[in-house]
Amino acid sequence: MTIDKIPEEWVRLVKDIEEYHRRFIIFTLGENDTGKSTLCRYLVSQICHLGRRVAWIDSDLGQSILGPPATVGMRIVSPTEGEESPLFLRFVGSTSPIGHLLQTLVAVRTMMDKAIRQRVDGIVLDTCGFVTGRIGLEFKFQKIDLVNPTHLIALQKGRELEVLLRNFSYRRSLSLRRFPISEAVQPKSTDQRWEYRQEQFRKYFHEAKVVNFAFAGLGLHGHLPDFQSVQHWQGLLIGFCDEMNDTLALGIIQEVDLKRKQFSCLTPLQPKQRVRSIQFGSLHLDSSGRELILKK
Ligand SMILES: Nc1ncnc2c1ncn2[C@@H]1O[C@H](COP(=O)(O)OP(=O)(O)OP(=O)(O)O)[C@@H](O)[C@H]1O
Ligand SMILES: [Mg+2]
């Protein structure tokens, strides 16, 4: 995608980072289709051009760019590492934070801490458009509070973010900036958003294999399925986690034997990867990665 004219606010933000902020955490905020991801991409690439190491954290679970949907992804980009550095994932459980608010917040903070431990100069955080309504507002309030950004970039059409922004307008450590929305933003329909998610899942599971997996003795967490109902397990999206609960790979449960505590699972997990716990999500997918709507 090319941006015809880079808005002066964007250029000024990069200049401020260059001149005044050896360390920075940029939080982008806005409803759907406000240009958040495009801005994040621009910031990551421009700040990287300044010679800085930047962690790009993508916490949009539905229209995710880094990693498959239902995960928070993180990549460290620098002049030497480029954009092909390792991708870190944290499975959240679904393509929306609703029903997974805690997992989403913990995933974002864990990724930030990992980036900080890897001595990045700064973080650029992309977020989802879930920002209004009673739950959306409180979720975003808690997320901003937890992330404690140095820069909060509000992309709003009217004044829809003001009620949230008021909470942070007196925070001395934070620079609050309101950016206009570009007329070039192309809104996506609900169907386009759904298709995008399916395509991202399809690509992720494209080279996956069916493996048999015994889960006796392993940690189990997330939305634990009903141990009396095989149907509840079949097609369930899960995360295979390491000892720090970072996600090694996602999987789609195929067949399950609840007595023997075994299942077969479609997954790109590599045999050498050591699974320490299994995180259960709340989505069901068919073996091509399409979301299934289950009858209750
Ligand atoms: N400044 C811009 N110039 C040209 N095209 C843009 C610009 N900003 C956004 N777009 C285009 O508009 C579309 C939506 O932008 P983007 O994905 O950045 O928005 P978003 O707020 O992240 O959306 P989502 O709600 O899906 O996360 C994209 O196709 C993008 O290429
Ligand atoms: Mg986006």
**How do the residues of the chain divide into helix, strand and coil, expressed in percent and rounded to 5?**
30, 30, 40
Integer angstrom CA distances of residue 51 from 11, 79, 119, 215: 16, 6, 14, 45
Residue with tokens 């929306």: 96
Please check the confidence at residue 32 and state whether its pLDDT lies above 80. yes
- Report which protein residue has its CA nearest ligand 1's atom 23: 33
- Cα–Cα distance, 61 to 127 (Å, whole number): 8
Q: Is 62 in the pocket of ligand 1 (CB under 6 A)?
A: no
Indicate the pTM of the whole model. Answer: 0.96
Which residue's C-alpha comes closest to atom 3 of ligand 1? 3
Q: What was the pLDDT predicted at 82?
A: 65
* Mean pLDDT estimate for the chain: 95
Q: Is the CB of 194 under 6 A from ligand 1?
A: no
The verdict on the CB of residue 94 being under 6 Å from ligand 1 is no
* Phi, psi (deg, nearest 5) at residue 98: -60, 125
Q: Is 87 in the pocket of ligand 1 (CB under 6 A)?
A: no
Task: Tell me if 38 CB under 6 Å of ligand 1.
Answer: yes
Structure tokens at 132: 């209004």
- Ligand 1 centroid to Cα of residue 62, in Å, is 14
Which pLDDT does position 295 carry in this prediction?
53
Instruction: Judge whether 204 and 289 are in contact, CB under 8 Å.
Output: yes
Give the pLDDT score at 1: 63
Q: How many CA atoms lie within 13 A of 142 on its CB side?
A: 15
Evaluate: CB of 218 within 6 angstroms of ligand 1: no
Task: Report which of residues 206 and 3 the model is more confident about.
Answer: 206
Locate the ligand 1 atom nearest the alpha carbon of residue 6 and give its number: 1
Quickly state the pLDDT bin for 169 (edges 50, 70, 90): very high
Q: Which of these ranges, 81-90, 114-123, 158-167, has the smallest mean pLDDT?
A: 81-90
Q: Indicate the pLDDT class of residue 83, thresholds 50, 70 and 90.
A: low
The predicted structure's pLDDT at residue 77:
95
Q: Where are the domains of the chain?
A: 8-179, 207-289
> Is residue 99 scored above 60 in pLDDT?
yes
Q: Which of the ligands is closest to the CA of residue 187?
A: 1
What's the pLDDT score for residue 291? 87
Phi, psi torsion values for 40, nearest 5 degrees: -60, -45
Predicted pLDDT at 38 = 97
Find all residues with CB under 8 Å of 171, minimum gap 6, and list them. none
The pLDDT of residue 279 is: 98
Q: Mean per-residue pLDDT for 152-160?
A: 96
Q: Assess whether the C-beta atom of 244 lies below 6 angstroms from ligand 1.
A: no
CATH superfamily for domain 8-179: P-loop containing nucleotide triphosphate hydrolases (3.40.50.300)
* Residues of the chain above pLDDT 90, percent: 92
Q: Give kind and range of the element (H or E) at residue 215.
A: none
Of 170, 109, 174, 113, residue with least CA distance to 142:
109
**Rounded to an integer, what distance in angstroms lies between the CA atom of residue 227 and that of residue 250?**
21
The single-letter DSSP state of residue 187 is: -
* Residue with CA at minimum distance from ligand 1 atom 30: 185
β-pairing verdict for 209-214 and 219-222 = unpaired
207-289: CATH homologous superfamily?
Pre-mRNA cleavage complex subunit Clp1, C-terminal domain (2.40.30.330)
Q: Model confidence over 226-246: pLDDT tens digits? A: 999 999 999 999 999 999 999
Helix axes 8-20, 36-49, angle to 10 degrees: 40
* Intrachain domains 8-179 and 207-289 with the same fold: no
Q: What are phi and psi of 181, to 5 degrees?
A: -90, 130
Work out which ligand 1 atom sits closest to the CA atom of 188: 26
Q: Kindly state the average pLDDT of the residues 99-118.
A: 97
